[in-house]
DNA sequence: CAGGATCCGCCACGATACTG
DNA sequence: CAGTATCGTGGCGGATCCTG
């Protein structure tokens, strides 16, 4: 995650693209959005996240959390109890970012599906499944 | 590009996350956004794209174009002239998507920069530059 | 409970050379 | 001009074992 978007597209006013790439890079992790989704609703414990994200490994979860925290998208709270307890919460910034990204679902809704393979089969006629 | 977002987060209403992941996956290529940025302003030729995106290789450019086309974000027009001529143009869908993504720059503007390494240095005070 | 350490496989991306 | 073919690489993600 957090790709170090060097961004060389200095040709035009693509400076905009660089910013977008940078922002997206901060949530580019395979599970980043899932973690944000869970933590935007309030503090969540490590184990809870693990359960909420079936298939994620402890290592990746840790890395994802650290990464998001480093980008100011997550706050990490440690309770020095006997059995360790750590809670993660999305920051206000993260919630705003997530909300912005949520707009993508609206776009997706307007555009049903991507044609699997237009290689040789041209979908010239606007024939949609639904 | 076009990560095959299996998306298993079926735990909650994370279905939303899956959609977002799917959409972002279609422009996850390192140069996808750059290509879209260039083609949203009108038809652009292969060589022109190559020049507009310093650092990209022919292979990757080709793959990126094919990928975007397969996702209905780009239209490819071939002119069977003696020296081959091919033009690429972003579809309406692509322009809408790009516009939506553009909103990220606004978010970025509101949140100056990500602390390089909050490992041990806590930026506890909300001291912002502007 | 919440990680850290290690090893490994896959895939996106890159460099180069050749072609219709 | 606009690709295709081949080879090589880095880094993300996964599996497993160990620890405060």
Q: Give the residue from chain B lying closest to A92, CA to CA.
A: B111
What is the number of CB-based contacts under 8 A between chain A and chain B?
138
Closest nucleotide (CA of B76 to C1')? D2
Number of helices and strands in chain B (H, E): 5, 3
Minimum-distance CB partner of B11 among A11, A52, A115: A52
> Contact at 8 Å (CB) between A2 and A22?
no
- CA distance linking residue B71 with residue B101, whole number of Å: 16
Q: What pTM did the predictor assign?
A: 0.84
Q: From residues 33-52 of B, which are strand D contacts by CB within 7 A?
A: 45-48
Q: Looking at per-residue confidence, does B5 or A75 come out higher?
A: A75
Burial class (CB in 10 A: 0-12, 13-18, 19+), B96: middle
The nearest CA of chain B is from the CA of A83 a distance in Å of 23
- CA distance linking residue B4 with residue B73, whole number of Å: 17
Residue by residue, DSSP assigns A1-21 as ----------SSSTHHHHHHH
CA-based nearest residue to B17, from A39, A6, A25 = A39
Per-residue pLDDT at B15: 82
CA-based nearest residue to A109, from B103, B74, B6, B22 = B22
Per-residue pLDDT at A49: 97
Per-residue pLDDT at A115: 54
pLDDT band for position B127 (cuts 50, 70, 90): very low
Task: Determine, for residues A114 and B70 on separate chains, whether the beta-carbon distance falls below 8 Å.
Answer: yes
Task: Determine, for residues B24 and A24 on separate chains, whether the beta-carbon distance falls below 8 Å.
Answer: yes
CB B24 within 7 Å, strand D: no
What's the CA A81/C1' D20 distance, rounded, in angstroms? 12
Q: Give the residue from chain B lying closest to A5, CA to CA.
A: B30
Q: Please, what is the Cα angle at A54 between A97 and A3, to 5 degrees?
A: 40
From residue A100, alpha-carbon distances to B32, B113, B126 in Å are: 20, 18, 23
Domain coordinates in residue numbering, chain A: 31-102
Residues of chain A below pLDDT 70: 3-6, 8-14, 113-130
Q: Looking at per-residue confidence, does A87 or B124 come out higher?
A: A87
Q: Please, what is the Cα angle at B65 between B59 and B71, to 5 degrees?
A: 135
DSSP single-letter state for residue B29: S
Phi, psi (degrees; rounded to nearest 5) at B117: -155, 95
CATH code, residues B31-102: 1.10.10.10
What's the CA A91/C1' C3 distance, rounded, in angstroms? 22
Measured to protein CB atoms, the chain C nucleotides within 7 Å are 1-6, 12-17, 20
Minimum-distance CB partner of A34 among B9, B101, B107: B9
- Which tens digits make up the pLDDT trace of B89-117? 999 999 999 999 999 999 999 987 655 44
From residue A91, alpha-carbon distances to A47, B34, B79 in Å are: 20, 29, 51
The nearest CA of chain B is from the CA of A32 a distance in Å of 10
- Which tens digits make up the pLDDT trace of B30-68? 999 999 999 999 999 999 999 999 999 999 999 999 999
From residue B92, alpha-carbon distances to A12, B24, B34, B62 in Å are: 22, 17, 17, 21
């Amino acid at each position: 995650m957090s790709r170090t978007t060097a961004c060389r597209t200095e040709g035009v006013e693509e400076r905009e693209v660089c910013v977008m790439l940078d922002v997206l890079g901060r949530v580019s992790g395979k599970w980043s959005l899932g973690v944000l989704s869970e933590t935007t609703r309030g503090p969540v414990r490590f184990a809870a996240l693990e359960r909420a994200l079936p298939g994620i490994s402890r290592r990746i979860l840790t890395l994802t959390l650290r990464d998001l925290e480093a980008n100011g998208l997550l706050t990490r709270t440690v309770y020095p109890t006997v059995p360790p307890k750590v809670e993660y919460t999305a920051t206000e910034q993260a919630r705003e970012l997530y909300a912005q990204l949520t707009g993508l679902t609206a776009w997706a809704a307007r555009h049903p599906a991507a044609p699997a393979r237009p290689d040789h089969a041209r979908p010239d006629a606007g024939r949609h499944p639904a």
